Amino acid sequence: MIWTQQVLVSLCFTVGIYIFGSGTKLYVSDVQVVKPVVSVYPAASRAHLEGRSSLLCLASAMFPPLVQFSWKRRKDSGPLEDVPSAEGEQLQLRESGRTAAILLVHQREDSRYKYRCSVHHEGGAVEAPTEPAPPLPSQHQVKLLCLLYTVLIVKSLVYCCGLSLLMVLRNKGPSTI
């Protein structure tokens, strides 16, 4: 006896995004793969006061919108090395059309490392231009800035009081004795 099996395969091509289970996504599209545009910026934060600095790596204008970030560093003209996990923390933010990674680096004030962000994408890896970590302000610089702001506030108060005094004397008119 011969058993015959017929298999009918039906393929339905639909453009869309399907999500399976815990975050696995399948992109089916007729759109070409587009590499991301990658930029690195110093991120503003209060962490400077605690001996840390932060860098922001932004990947945008890509399809599909799935990327992975990696950070490397170089001291002066030395070899490129991975950032040790003990010396930095990474936070990723995703929103439609762009993904950002913030690297929070624990470093001393005299550090001479330059950091590089690499973005791994289906279209290939893209590296951002090398950016130095933002310099940490010294205690002396912070004290000078506080003194400058104090002088500016006192100057504004003296100017305001002087104008008020002139207005009062002008409105009073000439005195008759």
Nearest to 134 by CA among 111, 154, 101, 159: 111
What is the CATH number assigned to the segment(s) 33-132?
2.60.40.10
pLDDT at residue 2 in the model: 46
Q: Is pLDDT larger for residue 135 or for residue 95? A: 95
What H or E segment, with its residue span, contains residue 164?
helix 139-172
Q: 71 with 87: CB under 8 angstroms?
A: no
Return the structure tokens found at 27: 């992109």
pLDDT at residue 170 in the model: 87
| Calpha distance 139→147 (Å, rounded) | 12
Distances in Å between the Cα of 99 and the Cα atoms of 122, 131, 167 are 15, 19, 57
Q: What is the mean pLDDT of residues 129-157?
A: 80
- The domain limits of the chain are 33-132
Q: Is residue 92 over pLDDT 70?
A: yes
pTM of this prediction?
A: 0.57
Give the three-class secondary structure for 91. strand
